[in-house]
Structure 1
Amino acid sequence: MSKNTNKSRRSFLKNTALGAAGFMIVPRHVLGKGFVAPSDKLIVAGVGAGGKGRSDLANFYKSGKAEIGFLCDVDDRMAEESRKSFPKAKYYKDWREMLDKESKSFDAVSVSTPDHTHAVVAMAAMRRKKHVYVQKPLTHDIHEARMLTEAADKFKVVTQMGNQGSSGDGVRQMQEWFDAGVIGDVHTVYIFTNRPIWPQGIAWPSAKPAVPQGLDWDLWLGTAPYKDYIDNLIPGSWRGWWDYGTGALGDLGCHLMEAPFRILGLQYALDVQASVTSVFTAFGKRGYFPDSFPPSSHAILTFPKTSKTQGEVIMHWMDGGIKPERPAELGADEVFGDGNSGILFVGTKGKMMASEYAANPRLLPLKRNEEVKIPQTIKRVPGSADGHYAQWVEGCIAGYGNMELSSPFKKAGPLTEAILMANLAIKAADTPKPRANGKGNDYPGANTKLLWDHQNMRVTNLEEVNQFVKREYRKGWTLDF
């Protein structure tokens, strides 16, 4: 090779690999089709570097096949530990700036922000042909979930939602039992959780404390309407506020509802209804807290017959510590689910249950687990639920369409839509409508089964609830496709 060629090559490597990111790895896509980076590692940019984002990034790195090249967080306090763990990763506060300046230097983006900004970050990354890993739930709104699902296919990128249980052995064991006919045809599924573990059914605080140093509050708000900063919102209590979170359903629904979706082949629901716990003020007056989710709820979804069922499937969601009646086959002192959360499949020939993440699957009565022996027919994910991260990394390296993943958007999208449909019913049941005579309120959504047109993404028999299918973003924010 000539001296000039060697000099050009050194300049290229210096500019692409060492200039901004500070690590000795050339992003895989930079070398072009047919070439592989010397390390063959995926370069990941993390948007949301604290809390769950920190553990996600650590698990990608732990796979041995990924490097964390860039970190981004609107809150320097939340990002501190990740910056210590990955000192060579370049740090940004605004993910839009990072994508604009550095997109040629990384292959994939991990999105672990509050729910209300999942969609805009993921969409912007996919438009740049970046593979994406998005924490659960996939989105805040039904419309966003549909858009991300379609975008993943359009841009041909590898996607994964962060519901690790979908890679677990438990759901695969239950699927083998069901496929073998052990519990017969499933017509009803019960899902329950003790969440929320943060305050709900409360008023937005009136105090206006100073914004903490290191937090860009306006950027944290993102697509949501502007409100003054309040204490105790970050890192976790935002889940209980409609503008930012998706409540208990968004927190655990993807971990609990994924199993019946996978096992029974569920897609879009036909209808949904809900009841909620009311908060009463003095003199028995029902309180109205439009910013906050109710303390507990019970939603019932109806799914149409699938190729795996003989008829419709009814799914019950219960949160706030509400539980279904204990199965008659479960002993008086035997634990239902894992005590806090659980999944119960009711079939024509028997029942099966599991804990959170679909872990610890059991046939009922429990003695059946010693009697029933079904051969393994479904391949397990290496590392089970913990292997969810490495699976995505390896899928990105393999390229779009070359490897099966547990929770790509084509699966995660419909699952998320069902979760958000249940939230629609909860919102409707908790929203008052003043009576015509001006004396008190009615709650029409509490007494209505919402009929769903999934093709057009709208409720057909209660128009006012459709405003929550696709929320209006704050000025300056869009979901570009």
Structure 2
Amino acid sequence: MTSRYLKSRREFLRDSAVLASGMVWLPSVMRTEPLEGRLRLASIGVGGMGGSDLGQFLKHPNVDVVALCDIDSSRLAGAARRAPKAKTFVDWREMLDKMGNEIDAVNVATPDHTHAPASMSAIQLGKHVYCQKPLTHDVHEARHLRLAAAEHKVVTQMGIQIHSTWQYRTAVKIIRDGTIGKIKEVHSWSGKRWGYVGPTPKPAKVPANVDWDQWIGTAPMRPYAKGHYHPANWRKWVDFGCGTMGDMGIHILDPVASAIELGLPTRIVSSSPKAPPKDSHGMSNKVEYTFDGTNRVVPGFKLTWYDGGMSPDTSDWPIKKLPGQGSMFIGEKGCMLLPHIGAPRLLPESDFKDHEVAKQPGGNHYHLWVDACLGEGKTTAGFDYAGPLTEVLLLGVVANRFPTQRLDFDAEKLAITNFKPADRLIHRPYRKGWKIEGL
């Protein structure tokens, strides 16, 4: 299929080479023609985190919620009570087709596998997009969303709302100021267990309030199973979610990426205890990334992620008891512990007792995006930043399916060059009838 939105392979590789090799992640560009006065918003996915997103947008004085979309009629009815003037839809494609001229911006808060299809469709119509984390389900999708957002000059933001808090902003400044010197290694972790090891879910009757075909979307069709997919446990399943890394890794690795200006990894190796089941994510994971150097890290810098009860060896660290989620930055002149949604701590404390930390101002992540759509300021988690961060994260998700197998990643070619089974997971095929131009 040809389209003015589709790049040739040569154009794609050219742009990817510029934006992937030695990449520095900078604040997102503003749309060149800002809107005047008010933002007409459509929300795709209005339950769970989508309901939380909707609540934040409704609090902005210059937002008019004009459309709501969800595959669950019960959730849709609840959202309609909060935004009674909005038109309601079950199929986001129908919503964009019928209301394209009445919408300025779209919020996407669906399960992970629908993030890219819905976001890309909105971008191609010139709509600003706020998309929940992780930005996409696949590495390929993250790369193409980033390029499309830049091409269409739309204002974007990924839903990593902690990114805009004073805690994370302060931590980033500490590292960028060189307070603990160049970084030798970073260890990041979460105790959550978004995996599944058990019997094959039993097929069940689809509830009357759920449109199962729409929920499945681009993924391969499978029977509905009560308690396993919609509404709450889809993160555990490979076709729909990205496990604990997709839920928490994208948050916790965010200040790491910001602070040391990571590019894309050259090598990824998982040392998870065992390979996960075919259809679900593992319960416990550990993955190590190797990157080309930046001026904020020492040669040989490594980043290691742990989840599901796996944790760093703290025997040589200046602190032994760790918070349930967070990161430890180990530098030439000391360490910084950053609990998830907590204030950064410089360690050993005795070495930094006279150091005054300059607390950075925070902001409302959602409202910063709205303001940027209206021509006021910029976002800092736009798809130019969120795309590469999501690629890093998803390469770890891929690695965790093949414990002990080294994966060599060529960022320019968007390929794992040494192991075909992993390379095939970079770009999954969409279900028949769900072709999305640009993906």
TM-score by length of 1: 0.81
Asked if 1:322 corresponds to 2:317, the answer is: no
Contact 2:34 2:373 in 1 (8 A): no
1:451 aligns with 2:414: no
> Which residue number corresponds to residue 437 of structure 1?
none
Aligned to 2:434: 477
Residue identity matched to 1:354? L
SS of 1:220 mapped into structure 2? helix
Shift of residue 322 of structure 1?
1.3
- Alignment coverage as a number of residue pairs: 405
CA distance in 2, matches of 1:268, 1:185: 19
CA distance in 2, matches of 1:299, 1:91: 42
Q: 1:41 to 1:208 in 2, by over 3 A?
A: same
Match of 2:66 in 1: 69
Asked which structure has the greater CA Rg, the reply is 1
**Match among 269, 275, 286 for residue 271 of structure 2:** 275
Cα drift, residue 35 of structure 1: 7.8
- The alpha carbon displacement at 1:380 in A equals 2.9
Cα distance in structure 1, aligned partners of 2:362 and 2:436: 33
* CA distance in structure 1 between the aligned counterparts of 2:418 and 2:345, rounded to whole angstroms: 40
Q: 1:461-476 counterparts in 2 under 5 A?
A: 461-476=418-433
**In 1, are the aligned partners of 2:267 and 2:407 still within 8 Å (CA)?**
yes
Query: Structure 2 matches for 1:158-237, cutoff 5 A?
Result: 158-196=155-193, 198-205=194-201, 207-232=202-227, 233-237=229-233
Structure 1 position 188, deviation (Å): 0.4
Consecutive unaligned residues in structure 1, runs of 5 or more: 1-32, 280-287, 430-445
Aligned to 1:239: 235
Does structure 2 retain, via aligned residues, the 8 Å contact 1:274–1:300? Answer: yes
Deviation at 1:423, TM superposition (A): 0.9
Q: How does 1:74-473 map to 2 (within 5 A)?
A: 74-196=71-193, 198-205=194-201, 207-232=202-227, 233-278=229-274, 289-326=277-314, 328=316, 330-331=318-319, 335-336=321-322, 339-357=323-341, 359-367=342-350, 370-375=353-358, 380-382=361-363, 387-398=364-375, 403-429=377-403, 446=404, 448-473=405-430
Q: Describe the shift of the 1:345–1:71 C-alpha distance in structure 2 as closer, same or farther (beyond 3 A).
A: same
Percent of aligned pairs with the same residue?
36
Deviation at 1:173, TM superposition (A): 1.5
**Contact kept in structure 2, 1:240 and 1:246, CA below 8 Å:** yes
Q: How many angstroms apart in 2 are the aligned matches of 1:156 and 1:202?
A: 46
Partner Cα separation in structure 2 for residue 52 and residue 374 of structure 1: 33
Give the CA RMSD over aligned residues: 1.9
State the Cα distance separating 1:161 from its structure 2 match: 0.1
TM norm structure 2: 0.88
Letter in 2 for 1:306: T
Higher relative contact order (CA 8 A, sep 6+): 2
Question: Is contact 2:176-2:260 (8 Å) kept?
Answer: no
CA distance in 2, matches of 1:465, 1:348: 35
**Secondary structure at the residue paired with 2:304?**
strand
**What residue ranges of structure 2 are gaps of 5+ in the alignment?**
1-32
C-alpha separation in 2, matches of 1:428 and 1:34 = 46
Closer, same or farther: CA 369–113 of 1 in aligned 2, 3 Å: farther
The alpha-carbon deviation at position 51 of structure 1 amounts to 0.6
Amino acid in the other structure paired with 1:222 = G
Q: Is the 8 A contact 1:49 1:79 kept in 2?
A: yes
Task: Report how far residue 80 of structure 1 moved.
Answer: 3.2
- Matches of 1:35 and 1:396 in 2, distance apart? 7
CA contact 2:169–2:362 (8 Å) conserved in 1: no
Distance 1:238 1:34, change over 3 A: closer
Q: Which residue of 1 aligns with 2:7?
A: none
**Deviation per CA, 1:32-70, whole angstroms, max 9, x where unpaired?**
x7983xxx2211100001110011011012122212111
